[in-house]
Structure formats: C-alpha cells, structure tokens
Amino acid sequence: MADFQGYIILFLVWLTSTILVRTLFKSSAKSRLPPSPFALPIIGHLHLLAPIPHQALHKLSNSYGPLIQIFLGSVPCVVASSAEMAKEFLKTHEASFSNRPQLAAVDYLTYGSQDFSFAPYGPYWKFMKKLCMSELLGGRTLDLLLPVRVDEIKCFIELLLKKAKAGEAVDVGGELIRVTNNVISRMIMSERCSENENEAGDVRKLVQETAELTGKFNLSDFIWFCKNLDLQGFGKRLKDVRNRFDEMMERIIKEHQDARKRKTKTKIGDGGDAVKDVLDILLDISEDESSEMKLTRENIKAFILDIFAAGTDTSAITTEWALAELVNHPHNMEKAREEIDSVIGKDRLVAESDIANLPYLQAIVKETLRLHPTGPLIVRESSEDCTIAGYKIPAKTRLFVNVWAIGRDPNHWDNPLEFQPERFVSEEGSGKSQLDVRGQHFHLLPFGSGRRGCPGTSLALQVIQTTLAAMIQCFEWKVGDGGNGTVDMEEGHGLTLPRAHPLVCVPVARLNTFLSM
C-alpha cells in the first residue's frame, strides 16, 4: 500500500512538474512575440482597424509600442510604427521581407500576379526591376518623354485660365487626375485619353475601380473558411474591370504592333529620331529572342496596369494635398510664389529644369509627403523565420510599416502635426535640405525603401513639383464665400490617402502673360 501511495505521489509530482514546465515554455515562447492587443475569435483584431487603418494602427502603437503583433482574421501580422523598427525590417532584415502578400483581387486583376509590383521576389521581379530603372522609368526615357509632360501641364494651365476668366470653381483633384492620367497614358502608349472624352472617362473609371477593389477589405484574404467564397460579391466586379481593361489593352497593343510592322516595311523612323513609348519598349523586349527573360502578353498588360494604378491618382492626390495646405497657410503660399517669381520671372512658365533652383518648393512637397504620404502603409510578407528587436517573427507573417505614423513621430519631428516646410530648408549648412524622400532616411518613407521601393519616384516628383509650381505661379486660389475660407483636411478611405472632401477652389489669374499661351 505504501509503495502504491509512493507511486501516486511520484506520478502527481511528475504530472505537476510537466504541466509547469510546459506552461513556462509556452509563456517563454509567447514572450518572444511582439506585444498584442486582445483578439476576438475568428476575426482577430479586424474590429480595431476601423474606420481608417493607418490611423487605428497608430493609436494601437501608442498603447503597445512601436512593434506590435495583430491578427487580421487568421493572418498573423506585425506593425512597425517607428523609424528604428522600419529600418530593422526594410534594411537590416530586408532579405526576409522582400515579398508582398498575395491578395485575391490583385492576383486576379494582374493575370495571376504577372505584374511587377506584386510579383514574388525572384528572377522575374529582378529582371523587371532592372528594366524599370534602366529603360522604362530611367532617366533617359523620362528625358525623352519630357515634351509630353510639358504639353500636358500647359493644357492644364490653359483649362484653369478659362475657368478663371469665367469665375468658375474647379474640382482641383478631379482636374489633377485628368492631367496625370494623360501624362501616364501618353508616356505608356502615345495616346492622350482626353482626346476622346468618353474613352478618357472610361480609363479614369477603370483606374479608380482598380484602386477601390484592390484597397477594399476582402474576407477571402483573411478568414480561412471564406477563402473560396465570394460573400461580398467582388467576383463579378473584378471580372468586369479586368475584361474592360483587357479589351482596351488588346486594342492598343494591336495598334502598336500594326504600326511597328508598317515601320519595318517602309523603314520609317529607323533613323533613331522617333521616341519610343513604354509599350514599344516592352514589345521590343518581348520580341527579343536573346532577352534573359521572355515577357508574355499578360506580363505586359499587368505591368501597364501597375503604372496606371500607381501613377495616376497618387501624384494627383499629393499635389491636391499640397495646394490644400498652402491655401490654409497663405504665408507659405506667398513665400513659394516669391521664390518662383524671383527665379523664373513673370514672362514664362516654370519648367522641370527650374525645380533644382526652387528649394522652398521642394520643401513644400517633402512636408506634404511627410504629413500625407500617398502610401500610408508599406506592406510586405516574411519569407522565413527571423528575430527582430528580440522578438520572433515567423515566416508568412504580414508586415505593415506605418509610414503615416512615422512621419508624425515626435521623436524625430518637432511639432509633428504642423505644416512647416521650413524644416526641410537648410540653415547655415545644417544639411536638413538633404533629407531625401527616396528611402534612405527611415523617418521619411513616402516612396518606400530598399528593393521594393517605388521605381517611379523620379517621375512622380517631376510631375508633382512642376504642376504645383505652375499652379502657384499662375493663380491665386480662393475658397468659400469671399474667397478667404479654409480647407477641411480630413482624410478619406482608400489605399492612397485621398481627401475626405474634394478641394474646390476658384482660380484667379495673376500673370496676364500666360493668357495667350
């Protein structure tokens, strides 16, 4: 009996110690994961992200720290909300976070992720990145296509002058989208959308619908048992958008191919004077048997969708935010105008080549990008297990770098919520003006950083800075009754940080020289 009791005691000691060890082990394992708010079954932390995700994540980071873990349904995620954490993920451990997550809407619209922006990190992506930087969006191509941008900005100013003469209000954002859409369209395929207003409207609508569908929360991406269910009815809309885009691109590609055949037969343009658009360059590569990577028709169409979606509304939205800030800060507007007048004079329109001599204008754009980054969240996915800041980050964890929050971090910015372009103007060689937006300074990441940084940064800056400079140079902007109103700065819903309310202004021409431009 005593022996039996001894065995019972030994068994209970073993059982208790085993439970304690396992509990301590689990507790230790959990302690290696980043801090996390309380999650609900099935939906995880989805309920905490409304109404605007980057703002909601900023509030969570204020409570839980600069690196937190959340679950979007069944998808594990980490959120980095400081420059130091951003640097850890995007530089120190960049190799582990070079992939983007696959989303159902994006995958479908890009013909099975055959585009560039969302393609997996690998040989094809590396080839397209090199192609972007050297050919498609490189300095030489942008220089050759400069006349396109000059022409579109002049057309834009002429339209505003007509509105000014009539005393009519302008939906600034809508007109800016028209300009950037035309610039992108002509650079890609030598067609100016607004020459056919019906088609122009169709293209702009396609771009807007693409941005909306790829930016909306899709249950099938986050809740495992909804993966093959279309509970929100996205399927029909996705099919419609892709079919319309596909029809447009097939027509344009066929027109390009027919024109190329005619040139081959007649030898027209073989002297090297003709400027190739982006589609021509892509077709050249697809027909080149010696190319290191064979581009398919789907690759070409998906890449063009990337440029349209990424380049049309982002530049327009940034320019709209910049003008809104200047309307609300008339002393900054006047300072910018004085700089432009002193450098350019009053007898010609500002040009891209002038921007280097307009440091205050550059500072305005940087400050706008700090407060209103068109990509408020950088999204990546880990390809392997890694340890960051002492925390274990498993493979297949989704990463969100909160660019919006980082740009408002008081640890790096004095008076972070105030619009102060002067913070980017160097004082007695302090070097502040050298703070760049191209991903080298991790407290200012409007275009991302590293391998997955935006390849269209140079084009975006050229369009934004030159368009804004022309708007400041040629017009005064009146808002509200009496023209002295202020602009509401509330943010809207969307991936690209749109304004909640359109910026509607009455332009007043200030340089009569341009009336006959």
132 is in an annotated binding site: no
Can you give the pTM of this predicted structure? Answer: 0.89
Q: What is the pLDDT of residue 218?
A: 86
pLDDT in tens, 295-306: 999 999 999 999
Confirm if 81 and 402 have CB atoms less than 8 A apart: yes
pLDDT digits (tens, 9 = 90+) for 121-152: 999 999 999 999 888 888 988 999 999 999 99
pLDDT of residue 342: 97
pLDDT, residue 87, reads 97
Tokens representing 147 are 């006349």
Q: Is-contact 91 442, C-beta < 8 A? A: yes
**Positions of the chain with pLDDT lower than 50, given as ranges:** 2, 4-7, 9-31, 194, 265-273, 428-431, 515, 517
- CA 244 to CA 370: how far, in whole Å? 36
Cis peptide preceding 37, ω within 30 of 0? no
Please state the separation of Cα 445 from the chain's center in Å.
11
Whole-angstrom Cα distance, residue 173 to residue 177?
6
pLDDT of the residue at 198: 55
Q: Which residues of 219-239 are buried (b: 16+ CB within 10 A; e: fewer)?
A: bbbbbeebeeeeeeebeeebe
Q: Which helix (H) or strand (E) holds 393?
A: strand 391-393
Length of the chain: 517
Residues 6+ away with beta carbon under 8 Å from 405: 54, 57, 58, 61, 81
**What does the pLDDT read at residue 512?**
65
Are the beta carbons of 78 and 389 closer than 8 angstroms? no
SS3 102: coil
Rounded CA-CA distance 138/146 in Å is 12
Question: Which residues have C-beta within 8 Å of that of residue 78, sequence separation ≥ 6?
Answer: 34, 67, 68, 69, 70, 393, 397, 398, 399, 400
Nearest to 463 by CA among 131, 115, 156: 156
In this prediction, residue 193 carries a pLDDT of 59
The 3-state secondary structure of 333-352 reads HHHHHHHHHHHHCCCCCCCH
Q: To which H or E segment does residue 392 belong?
A: strand 391-393
**Domains, the chain:** 42-516 (1.10.630.10)
| AA letter at 44 | G
Chain centre to alpha carbon of residue 406: 16
Q: Quickly tell me which residue has 């990424």 as its tokens.
A: 310
Cα separation of the two ends of the chain: 110
- The pLDDT assigned to 195 comes to 53
Residue 504 phi, psi dihedral angles, 5° rounding = -110, 120
What pLDDT is attached to residue 19?
Answer: 45
Q: Of 94, 80, 91, 78, whose CA–CA distance to 409 is shortest?
A: 80
**One-letter-per-residue 3-state SS of 414-481:** CCCCCCCHHHHCCCCCCCHHHCCCCCCCCCCCCCCCHHHCCCCHHHHHHHHHHHHHHHHHHEEEEECH
In one letter, which amino acid is 202? Answer: D
Query: 381: part of which helix (H) or strand (E)?
Result: strand 377-381
